[in-house]
Chains A and B, each alone.
Chain A
Amino acid sequence: MRVVFYGASDRGRVRKMNQDSIIFSEKLGYGVVADGIGGRPGGDKASEIVTRTISRVMAEPHEIRYGEVTAYMTSLVDKVNREVKQFGTDNPQWHGLGSTMEFLFFSGGELFLAHVGDSRTYMVSGGDIYLITVDHNVATFQQRGLVKHRLNSGVSGSALTRAVGLLPTVDVDVYSKKLVGGEIFITASDGLFDMVSDSKILQIVLDAKGHLEGVSEKLIAEANKNGGRDNITVLLSQVFQ
């Protein structure tokens, strides 16, 4: 089984800079999308540290046994979190920087997905699209009964409940799924799905009929056509038997 990646990132139509980051390696079987938290200084730095740290660690020689991948990824995310936090400590002008993170690792016929924040990963299979991840924001947590205390009326539903770099430790969800040939995973920052509906995303991917070159760019173009109010980053992971 092999995985081919296609990725692209764009500033959008409104934001002055691109605070998203993306990196992927077909040789090592991983991809990362990170969205620096806007409204705080250093969002671009935070997302860059996320992708750079993962890239650095994944390039180191190591052996991960089956059954330990989840623990390995959790440990790696802890490390990333510490590096972002430490950067904010060492550089007071960027104190409080943070980022979301979608870290996909394809290994042993499975996908392992470490997820923090409100970037998303979808799966396209058999003509259908499914959202795999749970958004770590106030609205979703309230809906799922996770927020125990009454919130002040001023708290936005889109406010993040988890992010990399904000706290000394980060709670990461690590998803896993056995892969089937033909599956396509769409990992994106909220600049995509806040501007483009899930059904439209599915239509654009299916129209490519399995040839995904340029599809990331088409999705970005669709988001920009609808306003492009945020940075847009898209990573497609196509699974071949």
Chain B
Amino acid sequence: MSRYLIRKQSYRILGPMTLQELKVALDSLEVTLSDEIAASLKPWVFLDDGQAIRSHYPEVVAILGRGEDFSAVSESMNLSVKGKRNESSKNFKRYPEGKKRKFGTLAILAVALVSLLVIGGFTLGYFQITKKVVAPLPTNKTANGASLYKEIFVRFGSDWQSASDFVLKNQTEILSVLTNEPAYGEKLIPYIRLQAFISGGGFYEGVDSKLIYGSHDSTNCRVSEYRKLWKSSETSWKKHSKPDAWMKILMTHKNWLQSRWTEGWILPKTFEGACLFLAEDAFLSLYGTEPLSVEGEAVRRRLSRLAGLQLGEDSPVNLKSDHPFDILSCLEDAKMEKEIGECLKRNKDKEWRIVFQTAADVNRIHRGDLPAQELAKYFPFTQLDLGPERTIASELKSGKSLVNSLKIAQDQFPQFVKD
């Protein structure tokens, strides 16, 4: 009897398993169409590659759903993207490639009609506005926190897609554990955050956003807020290569982002990484795959890359040609502090200098090995007194968000932060 290995996008290997075991794994979503399959002495093939599956593993075709119709299977399971494979992703794609939201005329009329009915209903008093209550859903099912946590932890390991799917499917049990078994509830919080930020737009039904966001200032870290920011700053980033301060902070030094592995987060690795995902969600909802200017495309590539790095994806080739973010590639490649200085020497934009040098220094401050007075030696080419840098570093260290820290520095030192 043939047996098969499965290689998930997270590089987790499952099997060997029989055809029947594979069917069970597909049904339970332990294996998805974005994974690869191989038998002994046979090539690896992606499960959604219909032609290759039919050629090498015809016996597998029958258990994949509708036999020959792979496109229908893919769409119904909403698990893979036809035509483009992000094979370099160590984990998974969070969503289909840049779907642009389109509304047909009929759909618009339908929405308008429903709106009129609802408005009319409110006017006539048929409906009442109730305050949305965010609380655990009632459940009669007793969940065992220990077994639930063990199941996620041991069964999925770093297979984040499967863990996220599991958290979504077992919402009732998870909410029960949060309420009745707080010790295990705390262990589940990183996985709730995983599901909330990878697929949930920052929400997990039944769980207060304070729990999801933790102690961080989440004011700006919402899809709705990022949509406003992207739209309102279009002129600057789409046309003039002059990203606003909030965008610069978002696109900050990847090593700094990745080094801030905070307890209570697994993926995204940090609160800042979570905001990056939501900003990307917002960006895609607005611009999808719409062609942008050279500057706009650079922003899109940068955002995608940073989000991908959170997911452990490989770096695409030719990063250094990303315009206007050349300096970011330079900073990300820099490992020594003096290399950071070399990157900044090549770029005279004061605002970038402040954000990125500070990010690198904050990293060192968090590690406890950079006294504030040593900041000066990283700026031999400037005549500035480093006041803005010290302020931002100090505010970040006190727990303020990046955006608020920069705003405080802007207020205190307007001549160094604005053109």
A residues near B (Cβ < 8 Å) are: 66-67, 70-71, 82, 110, 123, 125-126, 128-132, 134, 144-149, 167-169, 171, 173-177, 198-199, 202
Q: Which of B16, B41, B158, B332 contacts A198 (CB 8 A)?
A: B41
Q: Please determine whether A168 and B90 come into contact, CB atoms closer than 8 angstroms.
A: no
Interfacial chain B residues near A167, Cβ < 8 Å: 333
Q: Do A145 and B11 form a contact, CB below 8 Å, given A126-B3, A176-B157, A176-B158?
A: no
Q: Which of B87, B158, B334 contacts A144 (CB 8 A)?
A: B87
Q: Please determine whether B5 and A130 come into contact, CB atoms closer than 8 angstroms.
A: yes
Q: Please determine whether A145 and B40 come into contact, CB atoms closer than 8 angstroms.
A: no
In the bound complex, what is the Cα–Cα distance between A82 and B158 (angstroms)? 26
Q: Do A123 and B5 form a contact, CB below 8 Å, given A70-B158, A148-B316, A173-B90?
A: yes
B342 in contact (CB, < 8 A): no
**Please, which residue of chain B has its CB at the minimum distance from the CB of A147?**
B317
B88 in contact (CB, < 8 A): yes
Q: Given A125-B3, A129-B41, 6 more contacts at CB 8 Å?
A: A130-B38, A146-B314, A149-B317, A171-B314, A171-B315, A202-B41
B12 in contact (CB, < 8 A): yes
Q: Please determine whether B158 and A67 come into contact, CB atoms closer than 8 angstroms.
A: yes
Counting chain A CB atoms within 10 Å of each CB, the highest count among B11, B87, B266 belongs to B11
Q: Please determine whether B157 and A145 come into contact, CB atoms closer than 8 angstroms.
A: no
Q: Which of B40, B90, B315, B318 contacts A130 (CB 8 A)?
A: B40
Q: Which of B40, B157, B266, B314 contacts A128 (CB 8 A)?
A: B40
In the bound complex, what is the Cα–Cα distance between A145 and B14 (angstroms)? 24
Q: Please determine whether B12 and A145 come into contact, CB atoms closer than 8 angstroms.
A: no
Q: Please determine whether A175 and B38 come into contact, CB atoms closer than 8 angstroms.
A: no
Within 8 A of A (CB), among B1-59: 3, 5, 7, 11-14, 16, 38-41, 44
**Please, which residue of chain B has its CB at the minimum distance from the CB of A129?**
B40
Q: Which of A67, A125, A168 contacts B335 (CB 8 A)?
A: A168
Q: Please determine whether B85 and A145 come into contact, CB atoms closer than 8 angstroms.
A: yes
Q: Please determine whether B16 and A176 come into contact, CB atoms closer than 8 angstroms.
A: no
B287 in contact (CB, < 8 A): no
Interfacial chain A residues near B87, Cβ < 8 Å: 144-146
**Please, which residue of chain B has its CB at the minimum distance from the CB of A175?**
B11
Q: Do A176 and B85 form a contact, CB below 8 Å, given A125-B16, A128-B3?
A: no
Can you list 7 A-B contacts (CB < 8 A)? Answer: A126-B3, A132-B13, A145-B85, A149-B318, A174-B11, A175-B13, A177-B13
Q: Which 6 residue pairs are nearest across A and B when measured between Cβ atoms?
A: A128-B40, A177-B13, A175-B11, A168-B333, A130-B5, A171-B314
**Please, which residue of chain B has its CB at the minimum distance from the CB of A134?**
B44
Interfacial chain A residues near B14, Cβ < 8 Å: 177
Within 8 A of A (CB), among B302-320: 314-318
In the bound complex, what is the Cα–Cα distance between A88 and B12 (angstroms)? 34
A63 to chain B, nearest CB (A): 16
Q: Which of A131, A176, A199 contacts B38 (CB 8 A)?
A: A131
Interfacial chain B residues near A199, Cβ < 8 Å: 41
Interfacial chain A residues near B416, Cβ < 8 Å: none
In the bound complex, what is the Cα–Cα distance between A202 and B316 (angstroms)? 36
Interfacial chain A residues near B317, Cβ < 8 Å: 147-149
B153 in contact (CB, < 8 A): yes
Interfacial chain A residues near B261, Cβ < 8 Å: 71
**Please, which residue of chain A has its CB at the minimum distance from the CB of B85?**
A145
Counting chain B CB atoms within 10 Å of each CB, the highest count among A70, A149, A198 belongs to A70
In the bound complex, what is the Cα–Cα distance between A198 and B40 (angstroms)? 9
**Please, which residue of chain A has its CB at the minimum distance from the CB of B159?**
A176
**Please, which residue of chain A has its CB at the minimum distance from the CB of B13?**
A177
Interfacial chain A residues near B38, Cβ < 8 Å: 130-131
Q: Do A67 and B153 form a contact, CB below 8 Å, given A148-B316, A168-B333, A171-B314?
A: yes
A155 to chain B, nearest CB (A): 13
A189 to chain B, nearest CB (A): 21
In the bound complex, what is the Cα–Cα distance between A175 and B333 (angstroms)? 25
Q: Do A173 and B85 form a contact, CB below 8 Å, given A123-B5, A128-B16, A199-B41?
A: no
Interfacial chain B residues near A126, Cβ < 8 Å: 3, 16
In the bound complex, what is the Cα–Cα distance between A176 and B90 (angstroms)? 12
Interfacial chain A residues near B335, Cβ < 8 Å: 82, 168
A159 to chain B, nearest CB (A): 13
**Please, which residue of chain A has its CB at the minimum distance from the CB of B87?**
A144
Interfacial chain B residues near A168, Cβ < 8 Å: 333-335
In the bound complex, what is the Cα–Cα distance between A168 and B255 (angstroms)? 13
Interfacial chain B residues near A145, Cβ < 8 Å: 84-85, 87
Interfacial chain A residues near B5, Cβ < 8 Å: 123, 130, 132
A176 to chain B, nearest CB (A): 5
Indicate with 1 or 0, residue by residue over B79-92, a CB within 8 angstroms of chain A CB atoms. Answer: 00000110110100
Interfacial chain B residues near A71, Cβ < 8 Å: 261
B153 to chain A, nearest CB (A): 7
In the bound complex, what is the Cα–Cα distance between A9 and B11 (angstroms)? 28
Within 8 A of A (CB), among B330-352: 332-335
Interfacial chain B residues near A202, Cβ < 8 Å: 40-41
Q: Which of B41, B84, B157, B318 contacts A67 (CB 8 A)?
A: B157
Within 8 A of A (CB), among B348-406: none
Q: Do A66 and B12 form a contact, CB below 8 Å, given A132-B5, A171-B315?
A: no
In the bound complex, what is the Cα–Cα distance between A171 and B315 (angstroms)? 8
Interfacial chain B residues near A174, Cβ < 8 Å: 11, 90
Interfacial chain A residues near B41, Cβ < 8 Å: 128-129, 198-199, 202
Interfacial chain B residues near A176, Cβ < 8 Å: 11-13, 157-158
Interfacial chain A residues near B7, Cβ < 8 Å: 132
Interfacial chain B residues near A149, Cβ < 8 Å: 317-318
Interfacial chain B residues near A175, Cβ < 8 Å: 11-13
